[in-house]
Chain A
């Protein structure tokens, strides 16, 4: 990141001027979505086109608004845990962790060391799953229908098998608890994980070879959908998208939550902030995650996975509030809880990285072709369950 914010003029943050067509023809208004094969679910963009070029783009949300926040305020703290699985349904375990972290902050609950290691292992596996499928979807939208996504999902199935044998469910794990984890992984499970992790570098390498230097991918991605770092910071963009713009901000390094400061890993940074950088940052993050996994699986200590003093049923925190956040695969995932001493939170708020990363969608798309909009949107890597909640 170059210098501080003050030397950039953000007063004119209002979008670049709309390009008005010169007299001949009119703007074509297109509603893309909510049922559109390229969008990741039910998302709608209202586009105004000048020929092929985008001159206005308004995202329309709410097609998957499932009232997570309202439900969070009516059910108990424990009962909200399985709902968090369904926020970002590709990465249920990081959602679990963020929520558990927020509640642990609210009540000042400590977590045993072994549980912290397990959380790191599961979160990094989730990150690999997410990044691999995000890249797969992105390339699918580029026209490579099937193959990369097929490879990504083949690897995902292996990791999902691990999740299932530990937590009982493939996608909706509901595994973490306030003060630890629900079940202790057996030695056999850890061995199976080591085996899967040992196979991952090869997968990452193949996945990289498959696409990284592909001329078509480069032609479609490089220089498209650029995001300036100043705008990225001001718009609250987080996660791989922010780092692709060259801002060194990884909550794993900043907040030192969990036991992340015990592991050696690097934060991949992009240079141009275009689609290709976002894609490469994700590829490199897969490599770093594999590194963290190897270290964590080597160092994992014994001991309990649950603080014996932690309460599960009848959990009533004292009045107060807390904001807990983690570096989810998509960005900063935060939970903000206000307790009034009751059975359920007075206010339950999810800070969705996907929604806030979409703030800059219009800025990235303006002036590009319609075909690029799909790619730029894909490179943001969103999950609608989290955007609309």
Chain B
């Protein structure tokens, strides 16, 4: 099978402006991935499926990943001009200072695709796409018209992560009930408070059981069991 670099070159030759980016994977599995731009993703998908050499006719796995807003602290070397008194004379000297800068990296939702070829019996080729943010701009193009196997998996990602797939023929919740409002696999999802009886509470459960107890005590003034 072609390497990721070759696939990238092939995609860029076939789909101008595809803007494919290689995401290296440091794990020994060596499954590096290609990040696509949502605007060209469907064209790239058709190319990958129909190309003579690649023939990736089988979309095996499609899933979402949630990345929260992250505060990144990085140390930057900054050159500053400092006024110093050297030998009784005031001078302006360049000085290199290390500074910790913090910036917020906005969170995003990511979808990951694992492609194989049944005709050529090779794979996987891993693709990724990102949404702009986690709140309002969560649209990604659907690949269901290209690979039918995406149909339920995209519905699942929509259900659990809240990625909206444009072009999906039937985008409804897959696992949760239709009235449900949240996206429970997101990392900031808060579960409903139903920890009424916990004889063996631990870590997160302990915290939630405590919260529940406090809430109940505040409401009724009566204590219940953990």
- List A residues at the B interface (Cβ < 8 Å): 1, 4-6, 11, 13-14, 61-62, 65, 67, 69-70, 74, 105-108, 231, 233-238, 247, 249, 254, 317-325, 332, 334, 336, 338-339, 346-347, 349, 351, 355-356, 358-360, 388
| B147 in contact with A236 (CB, 8 Å) | yes
Partner of B63, one of A324, A339, A347: A347
| A318 in contact with B176 (CB, 8 Å) | no
Q: Known pairs A235-B148, A322-B27. 13 more at Cβ < 8 A?
A: A62-B177, A65-B176, A70-B184, A234-B147, A235-B147, A320-B29, A323-B124, A324-B29, A325-B60, A336-B114, A347-B65, A349-B61, A388-B175
| A249 in contact with B65 (CB, 8 Å) | no
- Closest residue of chain B to A105 (Cβ to Cβ) is B29
Give residues of chain B (45-75) contacting chain A, Cβ–Cβ below 8 Å. Answer: 49-50, 55, 57-61, 63, 65
| A4 in contact with B121 (CB, 8 Å) | no
- Closest residue of chain B to A360 (Cβ to Cβ) is B148
Partner of A106, one of B29, B57, B60: B29
| A359 in contact with B148 (CB, 8 Å) | yes
Partner of A108, one of B28, B126, B152, B184: B28
Q: List 25 A-B contacts (CB under 8 A).
A: A5-B119, A61-B175, A62-B174, A62-B177, A105-B27, A106-B28, A106-B29, A107-B27, A107-B28, A233-B57, A234-B149, A236-B58, A236-B147, A238-B60, A318-B26, A320-B26, A322-B31, A325-B60, A334-B61, A336-B112, A346-B65, A349-B61, A356-B149, A356-B153, A359-B151
Chain B interface, >50% SS class: loop
Q: Does B185 lie at the interface of the complex (its beta carbon under 8 Å from any beta carbon of A)?
A: yes
Interface size on B, residues (CB 8 A): 40
- In the complex, which residues of chain A have a beta carbon less than 8 angstroms from the beta carbon of B219? none
A323→B204 CA distance, assembly (Å)? 29
Contact of A355 with B152 at beta-carbon distance under 8 Å, contacts A249-B118, A320-B26 already known: yes
Give residues of chain B (135-161) contacting chain A, Cβ–Cβ below 8 Å. Answer: 145, 147-149, 151-153, 160
Chain A interface, >50% SS class: mixed
| B28 in contact with A336 (CB, 8 Å) | no
| B27 in contact with A321 (CB, 8 Å) | yes
Closest beta carbon of chain A to B54's beta carbon, Å: 12
Which of B121, B148, B204 counts the most chain A CB atoms within 10 A? B148
Q: Does B85 lie at the interface of the complex (its beta carbon under 8 Å from any beta carbon of A)?
A: no
Contact of A233 with B176 at beta-carbon distance under 8 Å, contacts A74-B204, A321-B27, A322-B29 already known: no
- In the complex, which residues of chain B have a beta carbon less than 8 angstroms from the beta carbon of A347? 63, 65
- In the complex, which residues of chain B have a beta carbon less than 8 angstroms from the beta carbon of A238? 60
A13→B170 CA distance, assembly (Å)? 14
Closest beta carbon of chain B to A75's beta carbon, Å: 10
- In the complex, which residues of chain A have a beta carbon less than 8 angstroms from the beta carbon of B59? 236
Contact of A236 with B149 at beta-carbon distance under 8 Å, contacts A322-B27, A332-B60, A336-B61 already known: yes
- In the complex, which residues of chain B have a beta carbon less than 8 angstroms from the beta carbon of A325? 60
Q: Does B169 lie at the interface of the complex (its beta carbon under 8 Å from any beta carbon of A)?
A: yes
- In the complex, which residues of chain A have a beta carbon less than 8 angstroms from the beta carbon of B49? 5
- In the complex, which residues of chain A have a beta carbon less than 8 angstroms from the beta carbon of B148? 13, 231, 234-236, 359-360
- Closest residue of chain A to B26 (Cβ to Cβ) is A320
- Closest residue of chain A to B55 (Cβ to Cβ) is A4
| A320 in contact with B27 (CB, 8 Å) | yes
- In the complex, which residues of chain A have a beta carbon less than 8 angstroms from the beta carbon of B63? 336, 347, 349
| A233 in contact with B118 (CB, 8 Å) | yes
- In the complex, which residues of chain A have a beta carbon less than 8 angstroms from the beta carbon of B61? 323, 334, 336, 349, 351
Contact of A62 with B147 at beta-carbon distance under 8 Å, contacts A5-B119, A321-B31 already known: no
A106→B63 CA distance, assembly (Å)? 18
- In the complex, which residues of chain B have a beta carbon less than 8 angstroms from the beta carbon of A235? 147-149, 151
Q: Which 9 A-B pairs have the closest CB atoms?
A: A320-B27, A236-B149, A108-B28, A322-B29, A62-B175, A235-B148, A351-B61, A105-B29, A65-B175
| A247 in contact with B31 (CB, 8 Å) | no
Q: Does B222 lie at the interface of the complex (its beta carbon under 8 Å from any beta carbon of A)?
A: no
Contact of A359 with B57 at beta-carbon distance under 8 Å, contacts A234-B147, A322-B31 already known: no
- In the complex, which residues of chain B have a beta carbon less than 8 angstroms from the beta carbon of A336? 61, 63, 112, 114
Contact of A69 with B149 at beta-carbon distance under 8 Å, contacts A5-B50, A236-B60 already known: no
Closest beta carbon of chain B to A350's beta carbon, Å: 9
A318→B57 CA distance, assembly (Å)? 32
